[in-house]
Amino acid sequence: MRALDRKLLRDLWHVKGQALAIAAVIACGVAIVVMTYGAMISLRETRDAYYERYRFADVFSQLRRAPLRVAAQVSEIPGVAAAAARITYYAALDIPSLDRPASALLVSLPDEGEPRLNRLALREGRMPMRGRDELVMSENMAQALGDHTGAHLSVLLNGRKRDFTVVGIALSPEFIYTLPPGQLMADDKAFGVLWMPRRILEAAYDLDGAFNDISLSLSPGASEPEVIRRLDNLLARYGGTAAYGRADQMSNAYVDQELDQLRTVALVIPPVFLAVAAFLINMVLSRLIDTERESIGLLKSFGYSNGEVGRHYLKFSLVITAAGVVAGIAAGLWLGRWMTGMYQDYFRFPFLEYRMDPAVFSMAVLLSLLAAALGTWTAVLRAVRLAPATAMQPPAPAIYRRTLLDRMGLDRIASMPTQMILRHIERWPLRAALTICGSAMAVMLLVGLFFFFDAIDELVDSFYFRANRQDVVIGLVDRRGERARFDIAHLSGVRGAEPVLEVPARLSHGHVSQRLGISGLRSGTRYRAFYDLAGRAFTLPQEGIVLSNKLAGLLQVQGGDAVDVDVLEGARRHARLRVSAIAMEHVGLSAYMDQRALWRLTGEPHAITAIQALLDRAVQERLLKRLKDIPAVATVSTRQQAISALRETMAKSMTIVIDFYIGLGAIIAFGVIYNAARISLSERGRELASLRVLGFTGGEVTYILLGELALLVLAALPIGCALGYGLAWLMASAMETKLFRVPFIILPATYGIAMGIVLISAAASALVVGRRISRLDLIAVLKTRE
Amino acid sequence: MARATDIRSAPTDLARGAVAFHVHGLTKIYRSGEVDVAALRGVELDIFESEVLVLLGPSGSGKSTFLNILGGLDRPSAGDVLFRDHHLTTMSERELTRYRRDHVGFVFQFYNLIPSLTAKENVALVTEIASRPMTPSDALAIVGLEDRQNHFPAQLSGGEQQRVAIARAIAKRPEILLCDEPTGALDSPTGVIVLQAIERINAELGTTSVIITHNVAIADMGDRVASFANGRIAGVVKNAARQPAKSLKW
Ligand SMILES: Nc1ncnc2c1ncn2[C@@H]1O[C@H](COP(=O)(O)OP(=O)(O)OP(=O)(O)O)[C@@H](O)[C@H]1O
Ligand SMILES: [Mg+2]
């Protein structure tokens, strides 16, 4: 090995603590890139492979009833590759072990062979046999209930109870994510998908030779909007609700949303880490080059060229970067696999392909090299520029002046060590600024990540407590008249009940349109509160339509504008409605109307689809059990259950990821502060040792060094909080999707925790460096020439 | 100026050999802030191949500045330095680097060893980029440190460190050896060992050697002695006979 390389290794060993801290920061950045991209790519590849192998459809439509020959007509539409007609219905289940009503989406299976589209991935058992009461249950429900093949299940088929045997457990590309209708969160125990032979559903729902649901796949190059337009035309007579593509298919939309958010994380977070790494490399390398002025001059006097000298110091940061990159890739691969595995709890795939695109490694390497280059550049340039002769002369003694604070009379109040601290800071303002900057970045990162906890709390609070006040939403099997409300309202324990009508519709304004369900609420409703963008409460107007802010933004409308409303069922009426108000909501695209106005619009007075009710806490359990026996009830979702499901999901996915980021934040804080302390120590070792010789105590000397650091870290805290506010804002807006808006709210406690973690990191590095000060070898320090 | 009568280029000197350096009107002005410091104010001097030239002079008279320019470490503000056929003053940065690498060995007052490298590695640092070097071990043997090769600078005394620095300077078999107060921090017996090494390399390889010193006793080992004063050469004295380094004492 060449002598110069040996010097490099020894120099690295000498600053191993610092080098390690930098490598760790780089590793974090790289690990996040590799982890998130790994998860993203795997998720995408898995999804695509799944869709292809199990023939996920491209276009979907529901209708009231159409004869099977219509399905043949559908497959004639130009651009349609295949069409699969079937029967789907929501039905209540009777699950004795469950404390609340459960329901399922029933999906018919063809009498012969496999479905043409949306095939099942059998996980266990077999497909139902003809002529037997057998069904296949979706895996999420089976696992939640602990059911296996052979289990029995009672289903209320069109109000009549019928017992089935579970013969298979399966997954479907249509239901990677299953959400009960009208809910925000999955509830696997109480909602699932059941596949059963077509004949059973035909008979139960009186759909002999007919279907009420059709899916199509498109041939390559076909235009989806064009096919949808023709399909809608064809199915209009049969009560078809508007057809939609994959983008509006619920399960697919959720997977897409998750992919988008992964991408956001991969884009926003790693640059922060790499910036910190660049900054640390610069800090350490500049310092190294300052102390090596002489060696640099010496090398040049021997005839080493500028290029050779520059390369030598470049190698220094390259070795650190390479270590960080290797560790980061290893950690990232492992974490990516783990994260992808975690999606198994959340998204249901029959197989999970952990894939890694080599391009991601190149990108991670390139980004780290960029960071290293940024950090190294100025420092190495300084080494290169150093004229050999000047390098041979020791730098002129630092010029200290009476500081501003001195002139203000500080020297009379502050002790000698305190004055030394202040003068040192004033003498090296840039270095002090860099330390502040680094510590502030750590605080920033933590505030920017912890903010998510606040956001979730706010989400829960605004959705489940402020906006929705009902304890329970009871979905009805069909559009019973208002009578159903009386039945329920008269159950003991119900403190009040209101009917809700949900009508599928398409809202358009200009060129933009959106499918969604319009909720018709009773005028003066007590269960749903509306807040305008300024946070003021308002009541649902009797005329016009209220849009959620996300929907208004999507359609580009403001209060007072008119929107076109096409009802997608029944008489499929059209109307032009005035936007009477815009309601502030974080989640979902929603539209609200006064129930009477909605009845007038649909032409179906007194139709309702659900009932929302307030319950007596004391008898809630018993009441929910009673609801199970009412045939008209399809789904019951309680606020309590929804919130705990939400929290559980968050605990599973978010918390682990966020814990991981907290660790990273702490590493950054430690890296910055430890480096600053070590640099200070090596710079001022001589001075501090001299003070010890002069009779200062170890404590006083430690105070001089660490006091300065403490001062800088304290100064960094408010700056970091301000930057964290900015990062949180950036994250919130970057994470915003079509359906979901992250509320931007940061509680004071969040700032407190972020600052606390940084202070603990600072204390830890102070402890490490403090021990070094106490072991300062006075003679060795004084002997070396500075 | 009557060149013929000037001892600086007397025919007797030329008789000793060719001119290695021809220095003419060499001026160096440091600009630091508002004050200009003239370190050199028109130095005129010829240095002959294979001679040992000793530079004397009060502190601040410009000796180190002169040596640095000879070694291609620094550039003059005006004037010219001709090394054989090459003008050092017009050389590019790259050419100066080549010049240092191929021809010059340096010894500094404060040893300037790289603390993270052992004695042998400090020497290897130079031999690795030289064209016909001796081995680091041989170079260390010349200064009597063959058994301290694997010690780090911190494990060596000042005198030993300076001997390593000498070994490092001679290991490449340089044609020019430039020493800035090589014995400044050493006692007389250690100083003598250092000077003997310089003497030996001069004798064996014919290395042109320039030695700065404050120690008048050392002047006796030179072929000529140039005295600096106030940025100029006040006079050059030719020693009738060079004293061997071994006989020097201070
Ligand atoms: N980088 C510099 N900037 C400003 N002035 C300088 C610089 N280097 C040297 N000088 C000045 O140039 C003059 C000559 O310096 P030089 O180092 O050549 O003296 P010297 O003869 O070697 O002295 P000494 O015997 O003390 O080593 C001095 O007055 C010195 O202050
Ligand atoms: Mg000098």
Instruction: Return the HEC string of A380-411.
Output: HHHHHHCCHHHHHCCCCCCCCCCCHHHHCCHH
- The position carrying tokens 């979730």 is A456
- Residue at B29 is within a domain: no
Which segment of A149-153, A640-644, A760-764 scores lowest on mean pLDDT?
Answer: A640-644
Instruction: Determine whether the interchain pair A303/B102 forms a contact, defined as Cβ–Cβ distance below 8 Å.
Output: yes
Confidence of residue A514 (pLDDT cuts 50, 70, 90): confident
Half-sphere exposure of A118 toward its Cβ, with a 13 Å CA cutoff? Answer: 25
How far is CA A313 from its chain centroid?
A: 40
How far CA B50 is from CA of B20, B201, B217, B222, in Å, comes to 8, 10, 21, 11
A-chain residues within 8 Å CB-CB of B68?
Answer: 388-389, 392
CA–CA separation, A572 vs A241, rounded Å?
Answer: 9
Distance of CA A332 to the CA centre of its chain: 18
DSSP string, B140-163: HHHTT-GGGTT--GGGS-HHHHHH
CA A68 – CA A10 distance, rounded (Å)? 81
pLDDT at A125 over 90: yes
CB of residue B58 inside a 6 A radius of ligand 1: no
Q: How far does the CA of residue B166 sit from the closest CA of chain A (Å)?
A: 13
In this model, does residue B224 exceed pLDDT 90?
Answer: yes
Cα distances (Å, whole numbers) of residue A310 to A314, A379, A481, A722: 6, 9, 83, 38
Ligand in nearest proximity to the CA of B38: 1
For A85-94, what is each residue's pLDDT tens digit?
999 998 888 8
| Residue B18 within a domain | no
Give A588 or B246, the one with higher predicted confidence. B246
Residues A355-389 pLDDT 10s: 778 888 888 888 888 888 888 888 888 888 877 77
Most confident of A234-248, A317-331, A393-407: A317-331
- Residue A411 pLDDT class (50, 70, 90 cuts): low
**Per residue, what are the HEC states of B187-237?**
CHHHHHHHHHHHHHHHHHHCCEEEEECCCHHHHHHCCEEEEEECCEEEEEE
Q: Is A570 left (phi over 0), alpha (psi -120 to 50) or beta?
A: left
Is the dihedral angle over the CA atoms A565, A568, A574, A575 positive or is it negative? negative
pLDDT band (50, 70, 90) for residue B2: very low
Q: CA A307 to CA A50: how far, in whole Å?
A: 54
What is the predicted pLDDT for the residue at B6? 41
Distance from CA of B116 to the nearest CA of A (A): 6
A609 phi and psi angles, rounded to 5 deg: -115, -15
Task: Please give the model's pTM, rounded to 2 decimal places.
Answer: 0.72
In this prediction, residues A30-51 reach a mean pLDDT of 88
For A701, residues 6+ apart whose C-beta sits below 8 A from its C-beta are A688, A691, A692, A773, A776
pLDDT per position as a tens digit, B139-181: 999 888 999 998 988 888 888 888 898 898 889 899 999 998 8
Residue A435: pLDDT over 90:
no
Contact B121 A389 (CB under 8 A): no
Q: Which of A29-38, B126-135, B230-239 has the highest mean pLDDT?
A: B230-239
Least confident of A569-573, A631-635, A690-694, A697-701: A690-694
A715-745 per-position pLDDT tens digit:
999 999 999 999 889 888 877 776 667 788 8
Percentage of chain A exceeding pLDDT 90: 26
Indicate the pairing of strand A591-594 with strand A512-521. Answer: parallel
Residue B227 Cβ inside 6 Å of ligand 1? The answer reads no
Domains of chain A: 1-53+252-395 (no CATH), 54-251 (no CATH), 428-468+640-786 (no CATH), 494-615 (2.40.70)
The model's confidence at residue B8, banded by pLDDT at 50, 70 and 90, is very low
Instruction: Name the nearest CA neighbour of A610 among A488, A436, A528, A732.
Output: A488
B18 CB within 6 A, ligand 1: no
Give the domain range for residue B174: 50-76+96-245
Question: Would you put residue A10 in left (φ > 0), alpha (ψ -120 to 50) or beta?
Answer: alpha
Alpha-carbon distance of A62 to A69, in angstroms, equals 16
> H or E stretch including B41?
strand B35-48
pLDDT at A739: 64
Which residue has its alpha carbon closest to ligand 1 atom 25?
Answer: B59
Q: Are A441 and A723 in contact (CB under 8 A)?
A: yes
Average pLDDT of the segment spanning A223-241: 89
Task: Kindly report the number of other CB atoms within 10 A of residue B147's CB atom.
Answer: 9
CA atoms within 13 A on the CB side of A741: 17
Greatest CA separation found in chain B?
55
Is residue B222 in a domain?
yes
Q: Grade residue B14 by pLDDT with cuts at 50, 70 and 90.
A: very low
Q: Which residue has the tokens 């090299």?
A: A369
- Ligand 1 centroid – CA A393 distance (Å): 10
pLDDT confidence band for B1 (50 / 70 / 90): very low
Per residue in A493-506, pLDDT (tens digit) is 888 888 899 898 88
> Is B174 within 8 Å of chain A by CB?
no
Cα–Cα distance between A752 and A447 in angstroms, integer? 9
What φ, ψ does residue B180 adopt, rounded to 5°? -100, 105
pLDDT (average), residues A140-149: 89
**pLDDT given for residue A281 in this prediction:** 76
If you average pLDDT over residues B213-220, what whole number do you get?
A: 91
Do the Cβ atoms of B101 and B91 come closer than 8 Å? no
Q: Locate B124 and state its tokens.
A: 């290897």
Distance CA A735, CA A742 (A): 7
Mean pLDDT value across residues A334-357: 81
Q: Residue B213: pLDDT band by 50, 70, 90 thresholds? A: very high
For residue B114, how far is its CA from the centre of ligand 2 (angstroms)? 21
pLDDT of residue A77: 94
Of A469-473, B20-24, B160-164, give the range with the top mean pLDDT. Answer: B20-24
ipTM of model: 0.73
Indicate if the pLDDT at residue A656 is higher than 50: yes
pLDDT band, residue B9 (cuts 50/70/90): very low
What's chain B's average pLDDT? 86
Which has the closest alpha carbon to B211: B240, B248, B172, B157?
A: B248
What is the average pLDDT value for chain A, to the nearest integer? Answer: 84
Q: Tokens at residue A98, please?
A: 């469950």
Contacts of B45 (CB under 8 A, 6+ apart): B8, B21, B23, B226, B233, B236
**Best residue of A12, A311, A392 to probe chain B, by most B CBs closer than 10 Å:** A392
Q: Which residue has the tokens 């001097």?
A: B45
For the CA atoms of A588, A594, A598, A601, the dihedral, rounded to the nearest 10 degrees, stands at -120
Query: CA angle, corner A12, sides to A7 and A18, nearest 5?
Result: 155
User: Residue A657: pLDDT band by 50, 70, 90 thresholds?
Assistant: low
Q: Residue A620 has what pLDDT? A: 80
CATH number reported for the structural domain that contains residue B179 in this entry:
3.40.50.300
A763 in Cβ contact with A669 (< 8 Å): no
Tell me the pLDDT band of A126, cut-offs 50, 70 and 90.
very high
- For helices A748-774 and A429-460, the axis angle rounded to 10 degrees is 140
When scoring B28, B31, B65, B68 by the number of chain A Cβ atoms within 10 A, the one with the most, hence best to mutate, is: B68
Mean pLDDT of A305-315: 87
**Residue A250: left (phi > 0), alpha (psi -120 to 50), or beta?**
alpha
The span from the CA of A455 to the CA of A741, in Å, is 10
**CA A175 from centre of chain:** 20
- The total domain count for chain B is 1
Q: Is residue B19 part of a domain?
A: no
CA of A298 to the centre of ligand 2 (A): 16
Please report whether residue B204 resides in a domain.
yes
Question: How far apart are alpha carbons A361 and A342 in whole angstroms?
Answer: 22
> Which DSSP string do the residues of A719-777 spell out, in sequence order?
HHHHHHHHHHHHHHHHH--SSB-------HHHHHHHHHHHHHHHHHHHHHHHHHHHT--
Residue B211 lies in a domain: yes
B129 vs A298: CB contact, 8 Å cut-off? no
Q: What is the mean pLDDT of residues A36-59?
A: 90
Calpha distance A729→A202 (Å, rounded): 53
Per-residue pLDDT at A274 exceeds 70: yes
Q: Name which residue leads in pLDDT, A5 or A340.
A: A5
Residue B45 has pLDDT above 60, yes or no: yes
Within a domain: residue B125?
yes
Which tokens in the block code for residue A163? 């017992």
Give phi and psi for A168, each to the nearest 5.
-150, 155
Q: Which of A172-186, A324-338, B33-47 has the lowest mean pLDDT?
A: A172-186
Query: Which parts of A535-580 fold into alpha helices (H)?
Result: 549-555
In the numeric block, which tokens belong to residue B146? 């063959």
Count of CB atoms within 10 A of residue A467's CB?
18
DSSP assignment of A129-154: PTTS-EEEEEHHHHHHHT--TT-EEE
Note whether residue B91 is domain-resident: no
H or E element at residue A25 = helix A16-53
DSSP B55: E
- Which residues on chain A are in Cβ contact (under 8 Å) with B116? 7, 10-11, 14
Chain A residue at shortest CA distance from B158: A783
Report, in angstroms and rounded to the nearest whole number, the Rg of chain B calculated over CA atoms. 18
Distance CA A672, CA A272 (A): 14
Cβ distance B125 to A302 less than 8 Å, yes or no, reads yes
User: Is the separation of the CB atoms in A25 and A668 below 8 Å?
Assistant: yes
Which atom of ligand 1 is the closest one to the Cα of B63?
21
H or E stretch at A627: helix A620-628
| pLDDT the model gives residue A414 | 64
User: What are the chain B neighbours of A7 within 8 Å (beta carbons)?
Assistant: 114, 116-117, 121, 125
